[in-house]
Amino acid sequence: MINTAKQLLKNHFGYDDFRKGQEEIISHILNKEDCLAIMPTGAGKSICYQIPALTFEGTTIVISPLISLMKDQVDSLIQNGISATFINSTLSTSEYFQTIENAKLGMYKIIYVAPERLNSEGFINLLNNINISMFAIDEAHCVSQWGHDFRPSYTEIANIILNLKKRPIVAAFTATATELVKNDIINLLKLSNPFTLTTGFDRKNLSFSVETPIDKKKYLLDYLNNHKDISGIIYCLSRKNVDNLFNELSEQGFSVSKYHGGMSDSAREQNQNDFVFDKTSIMVATNAFGMGIDKSNIRYVIHYNMPKDLESYYQEAGRSGRDGSPAECILLFNRSDIVSNKFLIEQTGSTSTKLVEYQKLNDMVDYCNTDKCLRKYILEYFGEKTDYENCNNCSNCNSEIESTDITTDSKKIMSCIKRMRERFGIGLVTDVLKGSKTAKIKSMKFDDLSTYGIMSDYSKDTIKELISFLVSENYINCVGDKYPILVLTPACSDVLFNDKKVFIKRKIEKVKPKASEINYDIELFGTLSAIRKQLAEELNVPPFIIFADSTLIEMCILYPTSLDELYRVSGVGKYKADNYGKYFLHEIQKYVEQHQIEKSPEKVTEMATKISSKKIKIPKESKSDREPTKITTYNLYMSGKTIKEIVNLRGLTQATIEKHLIDCYKDGMKIDLEKEIHTQYEKEICNMIHFMKGALLRDIKAALPYEVTYFDINYYIAKIEKN
C-alpha cells in the first residue's frame, strides 16, 4: 500500500521521498486507524492526510481554522491534479449550493471546511449524504483551552462525527506538543485508540543566530541590501515599530509590505497577498502575521525585537524554509527588549499567568545570552534530547566568544544613577552620561554632577546597550510600570567597592570553510522565475504554487530538456509537468543551446545525490558567486594549461571552460584566445552573426562550414560586442 502512496506522492506532488514521519502516519491511516500527528511547522503535515484521501474511496473532510488560506490550499491541490474545494463564509449563497450539489455527486476528493460550518443543519445533512472516508483535523490544538489558539467551534467536532451514519477515520494534526494539549486533543476529539506520532522538532535547514548589533537599523539595512529579491519576514514587537520600519524601508526603495492588528481588514489582506504573491519581497509585521501561511520560499525571518517566549520564537522563525532549502533565522537582541516585554506582561497578564510568563521570558533571554549551541538550546527547551554539543549551523557554533572588560564603564553608569538619586529612567541617565545639553538637564542642574559627560565619547545607543546589559545582569533594576526608573541593586557594591570585574561577551564570526555547496545557474533561475511569475499571474495563484524555489533551483542544476528529465526534478509531479512543463522546457532548451551546456549523465546523477542531501546554497549576491570559478579557469589557462587539461582538472565541461574564458575576454582581462580559434573563417563567421542576428546559435552554426565550433562563434560575438 505504501508503494501506491509513494507513487501518488511523485505523481501529484512531485516528491520522490516522504519526509520524516509522513510514511508512518500515512500507513497507519491507510490501516484505518485514528491518528494524532505532532510535527513542527513546515514539516509537511498536509500530505499526511492528502495522500490517504486519494487512496480512499469517497471524500475526505478537512477541518481547518484558517479561512483566509483555504483558497491557497485548494488552488495548490487543483494544480496538482486533485479535485478539491472549500466551504466557508467567503462563498456566496449560489456558490455554496453549487458546491453542495457537486459534493453530493462525489466530485471532490477533499473538502476543506471551516469549523463554524459544523453548527449548520444543512451542512450536517450534506455530510450524511456523501461517502466520507476520513475527517482530518488540522491545527487540532485549537480544540484545547491550553493551546494558544482556542476555537470553541472545534469542540463540536466530536459530536458531529458521532452523529454520522458511519464513523470515518479521524486523524488530527498539530505543531503544539505539550502534554496538556495532546491529551485534550485525544479526549475532546474522541479519537479512538489513536496511533500517536511525534517527530523531532528539529528543522535542519534553518540556521539560527542571535546578534547584538549596537545599531540594529544599520545591521538590518546591510542585511537587506545583501539579500535583495528574496523573500523574508521582519517581526517587530509593536505596531508602532512596524509602521516606522515599514516607512523607513519604503523610503529607501525596498519592496516591502506590512501587517499588524491596527490595520483595516482590507489593508491587511492586500499586504498579505502582495507578499505571498511575490509582489513584494519583505514583510514587516507583528506576531499577528503568519499563522498557517504556506509560502514555501521565505528565506529569512529576522526578529527585530526579542519575542516574549521561545514558543512564539520557534513558530515565527519556523515560517522560513518550508521548501526544505536553507533559510536563516536571526534574532536581533537588545536588552531594552527585556524591559518592553516585562512591561507587556505587567499590562496584560493576570496574576496567575504572570509568573509563568516571567519564567518563559527568562528562558527567552537565556537563549539570547547563552554561548552554547542555539539549536540544542531550543530542542532541549521543547523536551528533546540531542546527541551533539554543536550543530555547526547556528551563530554560537560558528563563532568564537570574546569577553570584554567593561568594569570602568559599569562604575561610571552606576555612580551616575546614584548621583541622580535613583529617580530617573534610562533616557535621562543616558543623556547625563553623554553630556547632552537639554533644558531638563540644565533646570535640574545635572550638568553640575561629576558624572555629567563622562561617557561623551560613546554614542547614546552604546550607553543604552551597556545600561541594558547591567539590567540583564541584575546590577540595575527597572522599577515602576509606566515610566520605569533605574535603581541599583546590592550587587553593585561589589563592583564599586570590592574590585569585582564586569565582562560583556561578544561573538566574533569564525571564518569557516563552507561545506561542499552546489552553485546553480543563477542566470537561468532568473529566467525561470519570470516564467513562473507570469503563469502565476495568469492563473491568479501565488508563484510558489506553480513550483517552489527549490524546484526551480534543481532545474538550474540539472538542465532538464525533455519531459522525462523534467519529471525527475523534485517538486515536479505529473500534472505540473503536463501543464507547465513545456514553458519551462522551452526556456531551458534555449538557454542550454545559447550557453552550450553539456549534460553528462554521470554529472546529473552526482548532482542529484548532492541535491537530495540538500546542500544547495541560496544566492546572496548573484554575481560574486560566479566570479571565483571563472577566475580559477583564467588562472589555470594563463599558467599554460590547455583547455582540455583544465576540463579534466576541474571536472567541468569543455563548453563551461570555454565560456569562462570568453567571459574573461569580454571583461577586458588580458587573454589571447585567437590561437584556439579557427581564425581563417573570421570573415564568414562575423558576416553570418550579423546576418542572422537574434537567431539560435545552433542555426548560425549550421549555416557555417562544418569545422566552425560554438567556441569560434561565441568568441567572435564577444569580439564584435567589444569593438
Which residues contact ligand ATP by CB under 6 A?
Answer: 15, 18-19, 22, 39, 41-47, 175, 292, 294, 296, 322-324
Give the nearer residue to Zn ion in terms of CB position, either 201 or 584.
201
CB neighbour list of residue 194: distance below 8 Å, 6 or more residues apart: 33, 34, 35, 36, 170, 172, 186
Whole-number Å distance between alpha carbons of 294 and 302: 18
Task: Tell me the C-alpha to C-alpha distance, in Å, between residue 355 and each of 272, 350, 359, 360, 395.
Answer: 35, 9, 6, 9, 30
Computed over its alpha carbons, how large is the radius of gyration of the chain?
30
SS3 assignment, position 248 = helix
SS3 assignment, position 521 = coil
* Closest separation in Å from C-beta 577 to Mg ion: 25
Give the nearer residue to ligand ATP in terms of CB position, either 324 or 619.
324
Give the nearer residue to Mg ion in terms of CB position, either 70 or 592.
70
296, interface contact from Zn ion, ligand ATP, Mg ion, none, CB < 5-8 Å by kind: ligand ATP
> Within 10 A of 591 (CB to CB), how many other CB atoms are there?
18
281, interface contact from Zn ion, ligand ATP, Mg ion, none, CB < 5-8 Å by kind: none
Give the nearer residue to ligand ATP in terms of CB position, either 47 or 110.
47
Give the nearer residue to ligand ATP in terms of CB position, either 15 or 584.
15
Report the candidate in 223, 234, 230 with the shortest Cα–Cα distance to residue 296.
230
Give the nearer residue to ligand ATP in terms of CB position, either 309 or 323.
323
* Closest separation in Å from C-beta 45 to Mg ion: 5
**Residue number with the shortest CB distance to ligand ATP?**
44
Tell which positions 555-594 bind Zn ion, by CB under 5 A. none
Tell which positions 347-386 bind Zn ion, by CB under 5 A. 373, 375
**CB–CB of 232/299 below 8 Å?**
yes
> Within 10 A of 690 (CB to CB), how many other CB atoms are there?
9
> Within 10 A of 555 (CB to CB), how many other CB atoms are there?
24
Single out the residue of 391, 454, 616, 713 in contact with Zn ion (rule: CB under 5 A): 391
Whole-number Å distance between alpha carbons of 465 and 402: 17
Which H or E element spans position 617? none
* Closest separation in Å from C-beta 564 to ligand ATP: 20
397, interface contact from Mg ion, ligand ATP, Zn ion, none, CB < 5-8 Å by kind: Zn ion
Site string for Mg ion, 14-53 (x = CB under 5 A): -------------------------------x--------
Give the nearer residue to Mg ion in terms of CB position, either 50 or 281.
50
Give the nearer residue to Mg ion in terms of CB position, either 45 or 268.
45
Q: Which residues pair with 507 in a beta bridge?
A: 401
The count of C-alpha atoms lying within 13 angstroms of the C-alpha of 348, restricted to the half-sphere facing its C-beta, is 10
Give the nearer residue to Mg ion in terms of CB position, either 318 or 581.
318
**CB–CB of 70/64 below 8 Å?**
yes
* Closest separation in Å from C-beta 176 to Mg ion: 12
CB neighbour list of residue 689: distance below 8 Å, 6 or more residues apart: 700, 713, 716, 717, 720
| Strand extents, DSSP E, 181-297 | 195-198, 206-211, 231-235, 256-259, 282-285
* Closest separation in Å from C-beta 149 to ligand ATP: 12
Tell which positions 472-501 bind Zn ion, by CB under 5 A. none
Give the nearer residue to ligand ATP in terms of CB position, either 258 or 322.
322
391, interface contact from Mg ion, Zn ion, ligand ATP, none, CB < 5-8 Å by kind: Zn ion
Does position 331 interact with Zn ion (CB under 5 A)? The reply is no
* Closest separation in Å from C-beta 208 to ligand ATP: 18
* Closest separation in Å from C-beta 66 to ligand ATP: 9
Task: Tell me the C-alpha to C-alpha distance, in Å, between residue 196 and each of 56, 134, 199, 581.
Answer: 21, 17, 10, 39
* Closest separation in Å from C-beta 277 to Zn ion: 35
Q: Which residues pair with 235 in a beta bridge?
A: 285, 303
- With contacts defined by CB under 5 A, how many residues of the chain interact with Zn ion? 5
Residue 134 burial by CB count (10 A; 0-12/13-18/19+): exposed, middle or buried?
Answer: buried
Task: Tell me the C-alpha to C-alpha distance, in Å, between residue 274 and each of 125, 269, 286, 319, 588.
Answer: 38, 9, 17, 17, 28
* Closest separation in Å from C-beta 384 to ligand ATP: 17
Single out the residue of 54, 143, 169, 397 in contact with Zn ion (rule: CB under 5 A): 397
> Within 10 A of 721 (CB to CB), how many other CB atoms are there?
8
Torsion-angle region of 305 (φ positive above 0: left; ψ -120 to 50: alpha; else: beta): beta
Give the nearer residue to Mg ion in terms of CB position, either 126 or 137.
137
* Closest separation in Å from C-beta 47 to ligand ATP: 5
The count of C-alpha atoms lying within 13 angstroms of the C-alpha of 398, restricted to the half-sphere facing its C-beta, is 17
Helix axes 216-226, 239-251, angle to 10 degrees: 50
* Closest separation in Å from C-beta 46 to Mg ion: 5
* Closest separation in Å from C-beta 581 to ligand ATP: 18
Give the nearer residue to Zn ion in terms of CB position, either 397 or 643.
397
19, interface contact from Mg ion, Zn ion, ligand ATP, none, CB < 5-8 Å by kind: ligand ATP
375, interface contact from Zn ion, ligand ATP, Mg ion, none, CB < 5-8 Å by kind: Zn ion
Q: Which residues pair with 669 in a beta bridge?
A: none
Whole-number Å distance between alpha carbons of 508 and 512: 12
Q: Which residues pair with 206 in a beta bridge?
A: 327
85, interface contact from ligand ATP, Zn ion, Mg ion, none, CB < 5-8 Å by kind: none
The stretch among 33-41, 65-73, 187-195, 393-401 that binds Zn ion (CB under 5 A) is 393-401
394, interface contact from Zn ion, ligand ATP, Mg ion, none, CB < 5-8 Å by kind: Zn ion
Give the nearer residue to Mg ion in terms of CB position, either 28 or 45.
45
**CB–CB of 396/374 below 8 Å?**
yes
Contact positions vs Mg ion (CB under 5 A): 45
Contact positions vs Zn ion (CB under 5 A): 373, 375, 391, 394, 397
